[in-house]
């Protein structure tokens, strides 16, 4: 089965578990009689996915069954490699065996090839910011006074990629005092909308070498222009940041 098919099954299981926990005024106690049906449900999903077209001849049926058994053996082999190489004292040791790296290479390659987008939620490590605020499902944060505000963004891995940061300021002229940088590179900041525009985007290009050490890209924000929103809100605010989008560069 493909990763997408497995993900769909996992999603359905997650929904069942959540429904079980929220039944009868959101009780946190598990209902084992309901959970007992989960294996049967998963089995029915696999059974439907593995159905064979009755029009196939014997050789085609054997080839299809052989392929599916081989895929299952490959997944078991992956689990075995991980268990044999896992070290509780040194989790990174799992990648010391080149066979493990080879086994995971296709999956890792598929992951790093996909664009990612984040709002300023809990998955973003940060310091020098006011607490998180939200507008529906979107999270954002304001810079607070200080030497700098730091954001650590989960990147796509050791591949060339572009980071686009979106945000706003209280007054349009605050943008000219904003500096965003990472790995010694200064971001290109552009305004969005009609003048005077207080929304902006910042673009940073990363190389694979920039990102080979850590799973997060540290991005610095600096400004000396902090302003108070209104009489009721006495905070001094710098720039507001709402989203981070990472896109791998495609070789032309």
3-state secondary structure of 24: helix
Q: What is the mean pLDDT of the chain?
A: 81
Q: Let me know whether 99 and 132 are in one domain.
A: no
Q: Let me know whether 137 and 72 are in one domain.
A: no
3-state secondary structure of 140: strand
The residue range of the domain holding 76 is: 3-112
Last residue of a domain, one of 112, 146, 175: 112
Based on DSSP, count helices (H) and strands (E) in the chain, helices before strands. Answer: 5, 12
Burial class (CB in 10 A: 0-12, 13-18, 19+), 193: exposed
Q: Let me know whether 103 and 14 are in one domain.
A: yes
The pTM is what?
Answer: 0.57
Q: Let me know whether 96 and 161 are in one domain.
A: no
Q: Let me know whether 108 and 120 are in one domain.
A: no
143-178 residue pLDDT tens: 999 999 999 998 888 889 999 999 999 999 999 999
Q: Per mean pLDDT, which range of 9-18, 25-34, 222-231 is the poorest?
A: 25-34
74-110 residue pLDDT tens: 777 777 766 666 665 665 555 556 556 565 555 555 5
Q: Which residues pair with 218 in a beta bridge?
A: 152
State the CATH number of the domain containing residue 193.
2.60.120
Last residue of a domain, one of 77, 112, 147: 112
Whether the predicted pLDDT of 62 surpasses 90:
no
Measuring CA to CA, which residue among 206, 192, 196, 193 is closest to residue 245?
Answer: 206
Q: Let me know whether 122 and 108 are in one domain.
A: no
Last residue of a domain, one of 42, 77, 112: 112
Number of compact structural domains in the chain? 2
Q: Let me know whether 103 and 122 are in one domain.
A: no
Q: Let me know whether 72 and 133 are in one domain.
A: no
CA 185 to mean position of chain CA atoms: 23
Q: Let me know whether 129 and 49 are in one domain.
A: no
146 vs 132: CA distance, rounded Å? 17
Q: Which two tokens stand for residue 207?
A: 């190389």
pLDDT value of residue 168: 95
Q: Let me know whether 17 and 74 are in one domain.
A: yes
Q: Which two tokens stand for residue 161?
A: 């990629």
């Amino acid at each position: 089965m493909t990763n997408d098919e497995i993900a769909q099954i996992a999603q359905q299981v997650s929904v069942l578990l959540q429904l079980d926990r929220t039944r009868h005024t959101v009780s946190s106690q598990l209902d084992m009689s309901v959970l007992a049906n989960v294996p049967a449900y998963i089995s029915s999903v696999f059974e439907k996915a593995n159905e064979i077209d009755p029009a196939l001849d014997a050789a085609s049926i054997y080839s299809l069954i052989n392929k599916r058994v081989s895929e299952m053996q490959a997944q078991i082999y992956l689990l075995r490699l991980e268990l044999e190489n896992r070290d509780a004292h040194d989790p990174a040791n799992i990648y010391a065996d080149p066979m493990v790296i080879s086994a995971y290479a296709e999956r890792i390659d598929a992951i790093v090839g996909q664009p990612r987008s984040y709002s300023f939620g809990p998955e973003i490590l940060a310091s020098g910011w006011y607490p998180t605020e939200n507008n529906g499902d979107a999270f954002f944060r304001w810079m607070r006074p200080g030497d700098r505000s730091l954001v650590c963004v989960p990147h796509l891995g050791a591949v060339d990629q572009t980071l686009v940061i979106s945000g706003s300021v209280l007054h349009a002229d605050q943008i000219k005092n904003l500096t965003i940088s990472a790995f010694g590179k200064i971001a290109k900041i552009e305004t969005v909308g009609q003048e005077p525009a207080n929304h902006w985007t910042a673009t940073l290009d990363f190389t694979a070498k920039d990102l080979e050490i850590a799973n997060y890209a540290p991005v610095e924000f600096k400004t000396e222009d902090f302003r108070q929103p209104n009489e009721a809100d006495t905070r001094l605010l710098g720039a507001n940041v709402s989203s981070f989008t990472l896109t791998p560069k495609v070789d032309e």
